Structure 1
Amino acid sequence: MSLQQAAFFAVAVLVLALLAQRGRVQPFLALTLTAIGFGYAAGMSTSHVAKAFSLGFAQSLNALGLIVVGAAFMAEIADATGATARLQAGAAGRRRRSLPLAVLGLIASVASAPAAAFAVLDPLRRGIGGDSPRAALVLGLALSAGHGLLVPAPVMLASFTILGADWRLTLAIGLPLALLLAAFGMLSARATSDQPNPVDTAPLIDGDTMHAPRRGALALWAVSLGLIALLITQSLGDIASEPLGGGSNRELLIALGRPVVLLLAGTGALLLLSWHWEPGGLTQAGWAGRAITRVAGLVLLIGAAGGLAKIAQETGMAEMNAERLIAYAPLGALALLLPFALAATVKTLQGSSLVAAITAAGMMMELVAPLGLGDPMGRALTALAIGAGAMGASHINDGFFWLVGQAARLPAGSMIARFSLVTLAQGLLAALLLVALRAITA
C-alpha cells in the first residue's frame, strides 16, 4: 500500500506542476485540490483528510507565515526609504552579484529553518541581487546546502546527536562540502535570468516624508543580520548540552527567534533605524496594507503546502518506503548511500528536512556498527550523508519551495526543474563525495 501511495503522490506532484505551469488554475487552489485529492487516493476518510489538512495549514502559518508577513513589512519600508533602489544601484554592473548572496545563505543556513532564513533575508536579497530570479535561486540553494551539512543547523544537530558522532569532525568535513555545494548551486542558477526588477522610487519622494536611502540601506543590513542572529541563537539554544545555559535564560533566548517576535522586532527596528515615517503608513493604503496584499497569496500557499505535507505524514508512506531500503544496504564505503537514501525518501514524501533527519538517524542508530560505520569517522560521515539526503528534493509539499519560487517569479513546473532537481543533485553530489572520502580513509 505504501508504494501505491507514493505513486499517487508522484502523480499529484506532476498534475499540479502541469496545471500551475500553464496558468490554468490559481496556485493556491491547485495545491489545495492536489492535497485533498491525494488524501482520498491514499485511502483516507473525509474527516481524516480535512483534519490533517487543517492542522498542517495552521502549523505552517504559525511557523512561517508570520515571518513572511514581517519580511513583507520590511521590504515595503525598504522600498519606501529608497534603500532597495540604492542597493540595486550599487550592485548594478557587478559581475559577481550572486557571491554575496551565496555567502549570506551559508551563514544563515545554520538558523532554525532555511525557509525562515530565506524570508528574513528576502528584503536584502531584492537589493543586492537586483530582485532577479537568479538571485532568489542562489540564496535558496546556498541555504539548502548549508542547512544539510553545517553545525549547528537543526538537521545536523539531530543527526550527529542521535548517532553519537563527534560534532567537530562533522563540522570539519561538512564545511568544505557546503562551500562546494553552494558553488554548485551558483553554477546551476546561471541558466536562470539575471534581469533585475528595478524599484520605482519616483512616487516615494514626495516631500512629505524623510527619505534617506543610504540610512535605509544600512538599517536594512543591520536589521536583516540581527534577525538571522536571533534565528541562529535559537538553533544554539536547542542543543541538548545547553551551551546558552538552562532555565529561564535559555527559554528567553529561544523565544527571541519565535515568529511573532521576529515580525515585531524586524518591523520596529527598521522603522526606527531608517527613521522613515510615511503618512498613513499603517493604514490599508500605506506600507502595511501594501505588504499584506503582496504576500497574502504566498502565505496561503505556505499553509496549503503544510496541509499536503501533513496528509502525507499521516499516511505513514515515507517511513514505510524508507524501511524497505534497509534490506538493500550496500557494503563497504557504499554503505553511506543507505542513510542518504533513507533521508531523501522521507524528505521527498513528507516535506520536512528535520523530520527526515530524525527518522533516518533513528533507523541508522543500530545499523552503523553492522555496516562498518561504527568508528568516529564512520559516524560523522553517516550523519553528513543523512544531511545530504535531507536536502532534497524540496518541492510542492515544502513551504521553502514556494518561498523561493515566488521570489524568483517562476511557476511550479520551472521551479521543480531549476530548484527541486538541483537540491536533489546537491545531495547526490555530497553523498558521492562522502563515499569517496570513506573509501580513502577506511
Structure 2
Amino acid sequence: MSLYQAAYLLVALILFVLMVRRGRVQTFLALTLVAIGFGYAAGMSTSYVGKAFGLGFAQAVNTPGLIVLAAALIAAIADGAGATDFLAARARGWRTRSVPLAIIGLLAGLGSTPAAAFAVLNPLRRAISGDSPRSALVLGLSLSASHGVLIPAPVMLASATILGADWMLAAQIGLPLALLLGALGTVLARTTTASGTAPAQTAELVDGKRLHAPRRASFALVAVSLVLVAMLITQSLGDIASEPLGGGSNREFLLALGRPAILLMVGTGLMLLLSWFWPPGGLSEEGWVGLALTRAAGLLLLIGAAGGLSKIAQETGMAEMNAERLIGLAPAGPLALLLPFALAAVVKTLQGSSLVAAITASGMVMELVGPLGLGDPAGRTLAALAVGAGAMCAPHINDGFFWLVANAGRFTPGALLARLSLGTLLQGALAVAVLMLIRLIAS
C-alpha cells in the first residue's frame, strides 16, 4: 500500500504542475485540491483528510507563517524608509552579488529551519539583488547546504545525537563540505537562471514620501537581519540538551528566542526603532502594515496548504514504510553510507520535513551501524553527515521552504522543481560521494 501512496503523491505533484501551467488554475486552489485528492487516494476518510489538512495548515501558518509576516513588515518599512533603494544603488557597483548572498546563506543555515532563515533574510536579499530569480536560488541552495551538514543546525544535531557521532569530527568534516556544497549551489544558480537583476518592486507609503535618512534605514535593515539570524542560531543552540548551552534553566529562554511571535515582535520593533520610521497612519490598513499584510497573504495561504499536504502525507506513514524497504538493499564498505543518505532523502521527499527525516532515518540506522561497518566513531560521524545530506534533498510542493523561494524568485512551480529540487538533490549526491571517498581513504 505504501508504494501506491508514494505513487499517488507523484501523480498529485504532476497534476498540480499541469493544473497551474496548462489549466491556469490559481496556485493555492490547485495545491489544496491535490492535497485533499491525495488524502482520498491514500485511503483516508473525509473527516480524517479534513482534520489532517487543517492541523497541518495551522501549524504551517504559525511556523514559518508568522516569520513570513515579520519579514513582510520589515520589507515594507525598508521600502518606505528608502533602505531598499539605497542598498540597491550601492550594490550595483559590486562585481558579484551571488557570493555575499551565498556566504550569508551558509551562516544562516545554522538556524532552526531553512524556511525561517530564508524569510528573515529575504528583505535584505531584495535590497541587494532586487526581485532576482538568481539571488533567491543562491540563497535557497546555500541555506540547504549548511543546514544539512553543519552543527548546530537541528538536522545535524538530531542525527549526530542519535547515532552517537563525534561532534568535533562532524564539525571538521562538515565545514569544508558545506563550503563545497554552497559553491555548487552558487554555480547551479548562475547557470540555470538569467543574469539580469530586476529592481525590487517598492511602493510609496502613507503620504507618498520616503524617509529623508535612507542611510540610517539601510543600517537598520542590515542590523535587524543579522539579529534575527542570530536568534535563530541561538534557538538551535538551545536544542543541545546539555550544559552549558542547552541544559538547565537557560534552555527554554534560548528556545524562546526563535519562536515566531518573538521574531515578529523583535524584528518589527527593532526596524521601527533603528530606522525611526513613524509615518502618520503607518499602523493603519492604509499604511505599511496594510501593505505588508497584502503582500504576505498569498504566500501565507500557499505555506499553509503545503503544511496541510505534508501533514496528510505524514499521517499515511508511507515515508517510513517505503524507507524501510531500502534497508535490505544496504551495500557494503564505503558504499554503506548510501543507506542513511537514501533513507533520509526518501522520508524528506515524501513527507516534507527535514528534521523529521533526520530523526526517522537516524533511528532506523542506529542499530545497523555495526552490521554496516560504521560502528566506529568515524563511521558514525560519516553516517550522521550522510543523514543530514539526505534530509535536505528535493524540497517540493509539500515544503514551505519551496514556496518561499518560489515567491522570492518569481518562479513557476515547474521551473523551481527543475532548479531548487534538482539542485538540492545534486548537492546531496555530491555530499555523499565526498563522504564515501573519505571513508575509503580512511579505512
Asked if Structure 1 and Structure 2 have the same fold, meaning a TM-score greater than 0.5 normalized by the shorter chain, the answer is yes
Change beyond 3 A, Cα 1:145–1:211: same
Whole-angstrom CA distance in 1 between matches of 2:326 and 2:202: 56
Contact 1:312 1:349 in 2 (8 A): yes
Task: Name the residue aligned to 1:47.
Answer: 47
Structure 1: distance between partners of 2:102 and 2:26? 31
Q: 2:433 is paired with a residue of what secondary structure?
A: helix
- My pick for the range that moved more, 246-255 or 78-87, is 246-255
Superposition deviation, residue 7 in structure 1: 0.5
Residue 346 of structure 1 deviates from its aligned partner by 0.1
How far apart, in 2, do the equivalents of 1:261 and 1:323 lie? 39
Confirm whether residue 244 of structure 1 aligns to residue 245 of structure 2. yes
Distance, in Å, in 1 between the alignment partners of 2:263 and 2:23 is 34
Q: CA deviation at 1:131?
A: 2.7
Q: Is the 8 A contact 2:79 2:203 kept in 1?
A: no
| 1:36-65 deviation line (CA, Å, top 9, x unaligned) | 000011111111111110010011111111
Output the CA distance in 2 between the equivalents of 1:165 and 1:109.
20
Contact 1:156 1:384 in 2 (8 A): yes
| Secondary structure in 1 matching 2:357 | helix
Question: Aligned AA for 2:43?
Answer: G
Amino acid in the other structure paired with 1:320 = M
Give the superposition deviation at 1:195. Answer: 2.6
Post-superposition Cα deviations, 1:45-86, rounded to whole Å, max 9, x if no partner, equal 111111110010011111111000010000000001111111
* Preserved CA contact (<8 Å) 2:73 2:268: yes
Which letter maps to 1:307?
A: G
1:149-228 matched pairs, under 5 angstroms: 149-190=149-190, 191-199=192-200, 203=204, 210-228=211-229
Equivalent residues of 1:133, 1:409 under 8 A apart: yes
1:277 aligns with 2:268: no
Secondary structure of 1:371's counterpart equals: coil
Percent same amino acid at aligned positions?
69
Q: CA RMSD in A?
A: 1.5
- Equivalent-residue separation in structure 1 for 2:149 and 2:183 (angstroms): 14
Q: For residue 19 of structure 1, what is the aligned residue in structure 2?
A: 19
The answer to whether the Cα contact below 8 Å between 2:9 and 2:38 also exists between their aligned partners in 1 is: yes
User: C-alpha separation between the residues in 1 aligned to 2:23 and 2:81?
Assistant: 34
The 8 Å contact of residues 149 and 388 in structure 2, kept in 1 or not, is answered as yes
Q: Which residue of 1 aligns with 2:127?
A: 127
Q: For residues 389 and 42 of structure 1, do their structure 2 counterparts lie closer, same or farther at Cα, with a shift above 3 Å needed?
A: same
Q: Is 1:267 the equivalent of 2:281? A: no
Tell me if 1:355 matches 2:353.
Answer: no
Aligned length: 442
Aligned to 2:325, the other structure's residue is in SS state helix
Q: Does the 8 A contact of 2:240 with 2:247 survive in 1? A: no
TM normalised by structure 1 equals 0.97
Aligned to 1:113: 113
**Residues 400-439 of structure 1 aligned to structure 2 (within 5 Å):** 400-439=401-440
1:197 partner SS: coil
| CA shift for structure 1 position 249 | 3.0
Q: CA deviation at 1:179?
A: 0.5
What do residues 314-362 of structure 1 show as CA deviations (whole Å, max 9, x unaligned)? 1100000000000000000000000000000000000000000000000
Distance 1:276 1:371, change over 3 A: same
Corresponding position: 1:88 with 2:85: no
Structure 2: distance between partners of 1:349 and 1:39: 13
Aligned to 1:381: 382
Quote the offset at 1:427 in angstroms. 0.5
Unmatched tracts of structure 2, length 5 or more = none
Normalised by the length of structure 2, the TM-score is 0.97
Q: 1:200 to 1:157 in 2, by over 3 A?
A: closer
Partners of 1:209 and 1:276 within 8 A in 2: no
Contact 1:131-1:197 at 8 Å conserved across structures: yes
User: In 2, distance between residues paired with 1:242 and 1:56?
Assistant: 33
Q: 1:188 aligns to what SS in structure 2? A: helix
Shift of 1:401: 0.2
CA distance in 1, matches of 2:365, 2:143: 25
Q: Deviations over 1:128-175 (max 9, x none)?
A: 123311000000000001000000000000001000001110111111
Distance 1:431 1:201, change over 3 A: closer
Q: Tell me how far apart the structure 2 counterparts of residues 351 and 184 of structure 1 sit (CA, whole Å).
A: 23
Q: 1:7 — aligned with what?
A: 7
In the other structure, the counterpart of 1:62 is: 62
| CA shift in 2, pair 1:419/1:208, >3 Å | closer
Answer whether contact 1:56 1:310 (CA < 8 A) is retained.
yes
Separation of aligned partners in 1, 2:175 and 2:263 = 28
Question: In structure 2, do the counterparts of structure 1 residues 379 and 247 end up closer, same or farther at CA, with 3 Å as the change threshold?
Answer: closer
Give CA deviations for 1:92-114 in whole Å, capped at 9, x if unaligned. 14231111110000101010001
Query: Structure 1 177/21 Cα, relative in aligned 2: closer, same or farther at 3 Å?
Result: farther
In structure 1, how many angstroms separate the alpha carbons of the residues matched to 2:195 and 2:133?
A: 6
Judged with a 3 Å threshold, the aligned counterparts in structure 2 of structure 1 residues 200 and 32 are, in CA distance, closer, same or farther, namely: closer
- The 10-residue stretch of structure 1 (197-206 or 342-351) with the greater mean CA deviation from structure 2: 197-206
Shift of 1:199: 4.4
> Shift in Å at residue 203 of structure 1?
4.5
Secondary structure of 1:148's aligned partner: helix
Report the Cα distance in structure 2 between the residues aligned to 1:272 and 1:89, rounded to whole angstroms: 24
1:248: how far off? 3.8
Cα distance between partner residues in 2 of 1:208 and 1:102: 34
2: CA distance, partners of 1:407 / 1:114: 14
Native 8 Å contact 2:206 2:288 kept in 1? no
CA distance in 2, matches of 1:23, 1:402: 20
Query: Over residues 240-269 of structure 1, what are the superposed CA-to-partner deviations in whole Å (9 max), with x where a residue is unaligned?
Result: 114335444321222121100100110010
CA contact (8 A) 1:149 1:387 kept: yes
Cα deviations by residue, 1:177-221 (Å, 9 ceiling, x for unpaired): 110111111111112124323247794696866431111111101
Structure 2 contact 241–247 (Cα < 8 Å) conserved: no
Task: Give SS of 1:372's match.
Answer: coil
Stretch of structure 1 that moved more, 125-134 or 357-366 = 125-134
Aligned mates of 1:60, 1:208 — CA distance in 2: 36
1:45–1:433 Cα change, 3 Å:
same
Counterpart amino acid of residue 180 in structure 2: L
Q: CA deviation at 1:376?
A: 1.0
Amino acid at match of 2:416: M
Aligned to 1:296: 297
CA contact 1:21–1:414 (8 Å) conserved in 2: no
The 8 Å contact of residues 82 and 210 in structure 2, kept in 1 or not, is answered as no
Summarize the Cα distance change of 1:201–1:294 in structure 2 as closer, same or farther, 3 Å threshold: closer
Provide the C-alpha distance between the structure 1 equivalents of 2:207 and 2:281, rounded to a whole number of angstroms. 14
